[in-house]
């Protein structure tokens, strides 16, 4: 897997909006803060655009993203937000210029789709905070965005979090992949689907019905995506919903049931996803996962 160069003072950052529309104010605030940190910052031409629920037409969003991927001067691409729309761009992206000048791509939620595509093409990227909702009223970024920037500058400190009663203890060292579960499910059977063989799979979700979660997990199991895992890390499952007739199990129980017959370590409660904090993870990076009832850690081994 190819790791782009880490950021330094003066590195060029391009902010783009491949999916939902984003207000100009948080983008302008992020530009100011990043410049104060010593970076050169550029906005994609349609980063604050609007076309129905999107940040511009497919062509406009594609053009911004393609230009950022191609530009040899750009060192990192930050996404403004998720939403919906990235999947409409995937088949049109050209990575010939990117291969000559790889750069970090960072985001989560709908940006899971880009991480899966980059992973399949042999490039590492970062599942982490985005520009929208990352600045406080004081104009300073939250912990999640600070952690993202530290990683993009080369921080390789271990990530630790409390244990969970449903954890399956164990230790494994493997590359990591994953992101938003609904989008991993949506990619199944396409040329961009996640390659989970021998990987630590990270999943997170927001606002889904519990029976939808069960369907997604069973579908991934039937598609052979769960059996070959080296480990499973479960992040925030935020705002999950139930029917009037209860499904019967909560999110963690549904996930554990889907992988019950396999022996790899399972760690719940990792602080990443659609809630704070949202710790950054390198998609394609190799980590050592240590899981126990008292505590867990992801220790970077290579990225």
Q: Which residues are catalytic?
A: 109, 204, 274
The rounded distance, in Å, linking the Cα atoms of 64 and 60 is: 6
Q: In this structure, what token pair is assigned to residue 15?
A: 């902010």
Q: In this structure, what token pair is assigned to residue 148?
A: 């993202």
Q: In this structure, what token pair is assigned to residue 191?
A: 């040329």
At which residue do the structure tokens 């394609």 appear?
Answer: 284
Burial of 221 per CB tally in 10 Å (0-12, 13-18, 19+): middle
Query: Which residues, 6+ apart, have CB-to-CB distance to 222 below 8 Å?
Result: none
Instruction: Characterize the bridge pairing of strands 104-107 and 281-283.
Output: unpaired
For the chain, percent helix, then strand, then coil, each to nearest 5?
Answer: 30, 25, 45
Instruction: Characterize the bridge pairing of strands 12-16 and 76-79.
Output: parallel
């Amino acid at each position: 897997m190819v790791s782009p160069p880490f950021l330094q003072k003066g590195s060029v950052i391009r902010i783009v909006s491949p999916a939902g529309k984003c207000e100009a104010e948080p983008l302008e605030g992020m530009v100011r803060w990043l410049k104060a940190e010593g970076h050169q910052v550029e906005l994609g031409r349609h980063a604050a655009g609007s076309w129905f629920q999107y940040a511009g037409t497919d062509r406009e969003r594609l053009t911004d993203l393609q230009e950022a991927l191609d530009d040899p001067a750009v060192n990192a691409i930050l996404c403004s937000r998720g939403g919906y729309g990235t999947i409409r761009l995937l088949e049109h992206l050209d990575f010939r210029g990117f291969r000559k000048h790889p750069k970090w791509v960072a985001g989560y939620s709908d940006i899971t789709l880009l991480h899966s595509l980059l992973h399949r093409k042999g490039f590492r990227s970062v599942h982490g905070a985005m520009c929208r909702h990352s600045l406080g009223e004081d104009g300073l970024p939250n912990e999640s965005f600070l952690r993202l920037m530290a990683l993009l500058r080369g921080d390789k400190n271990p990530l630790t979090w409390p244990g969970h009663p449903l954890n399956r203890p164990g230790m494994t060292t493997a590359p990591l992949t994953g992101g938003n579960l609904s989008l991993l499910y949506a990619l199944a059977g396409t040329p961009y689907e996640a390659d989970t063989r021998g990987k630590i799979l990270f999943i997170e979700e927001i606002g889904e019905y519990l029976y939808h979660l069960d369907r997604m997990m069973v579908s991934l199991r039937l598609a052979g995506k769960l059996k070959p895992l080296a480990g499973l890390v479960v992040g925030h499952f935020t705002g999950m919903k139930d029917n009037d007739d209860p499904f019967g199990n909560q999110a963690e129980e549904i996930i554990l049931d889907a992988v019950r017959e396999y022996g790899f370590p399972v760690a719940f409660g990792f602080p990443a996803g659609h809630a704070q904090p949202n710790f950054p993870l390198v998609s394609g990076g190799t980590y050592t996962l240590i899981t126990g009832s008292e505590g867990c850690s992801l220790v970077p081994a290579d990225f």
